[in-house]
Every structure is written in C-alpha cells, then in structure tokens.
Amino acid sequence: MNTSTHEASHGYISDKDRYLARMKRIEGQARGIHRMIDEDTYCIDILTQISAMTSALENVALALLDDHLQHCVTSAVREGGTQADTKLKEASAAIARLVKS
C-alpha cells in the first residue's frame, strides 16, 4: 500500500458501510465461484459469474476513484501547493492502473 501523505479522513468515509456491504457481496460471489468449480459446474456458467464479479469490483473501484477526486483531490487543489500536484499524480496513476486491468 502506498504510504504517501494521506488525509485522516478519506473521501469514501461517509459511504464506508455501503462499500463494506458491496465488498461482502463480492466476497460471496468469490465463494460461489469457488463452490461452482468444486462442484464441476459448466465452465460457461463459471465464466458468467466471474464476469459479474469483475464488473462488481470495477464498479467499486470507479466509485472509490470518484470519491477520491471529489474529496481528496478537490481539497488538495483548493489548498494549493505541492499537495495538489501529488494528489493529481496519484489519481492519474490509479486511472492508468484501472485502465490496464
């Protein structure tokens, strides 16, 4: 995990319970896929579930990115200085990682 300077309160904090609930559903999807493989389920059905889980993870990532831009980046830009450049570079790198995945 990147340990560069981070604010004590992250952009997602107001939706933390919602994010945790979404991640719990994704964990359930992963367990379901594990079970499907264990039970020799038809490969296309497993791939369909993997696609659904991938989509759910992408949606969480995009929501976190939006929260980061709305909260962390906006605050840093408002304050100015080198912190703004740092936050913009972090966001850009995160977007690049999401696009590659």
Q: Smallest Cα–Cα separation from 101: which of 60, 40, 54? A: 54
pLDDT tens across 70-93, in order?
998 999 999 888 999 999 999 999
pLDDT tens across 31-48, in order?
999 999 999 999 999 999
Q: Is the pLDDT of residue 29 over 90?
A: yes
Q: Smallest Cα–Cα separation from 61: which of 36, 69, 80? A: 69
Domain definitions of the chain by residue range: 14-100
Rounded to 5°, the CA angle 25-27-31 comes to 115
Name the phi and psi angles at 93, rounded to 5. -65, -40
Average pLDDT over residues 35-64: 97
Q: Is the pLDDT of residue 20 over 70?
A: yes
Round to whole Å and give the CA distance between 4 and 29: 32
Q: What is the mean pLDDT of the chain?
A: 89
Q: Which CATH architecture has domain 14-100?
A: Up-down Bundle (1.20)
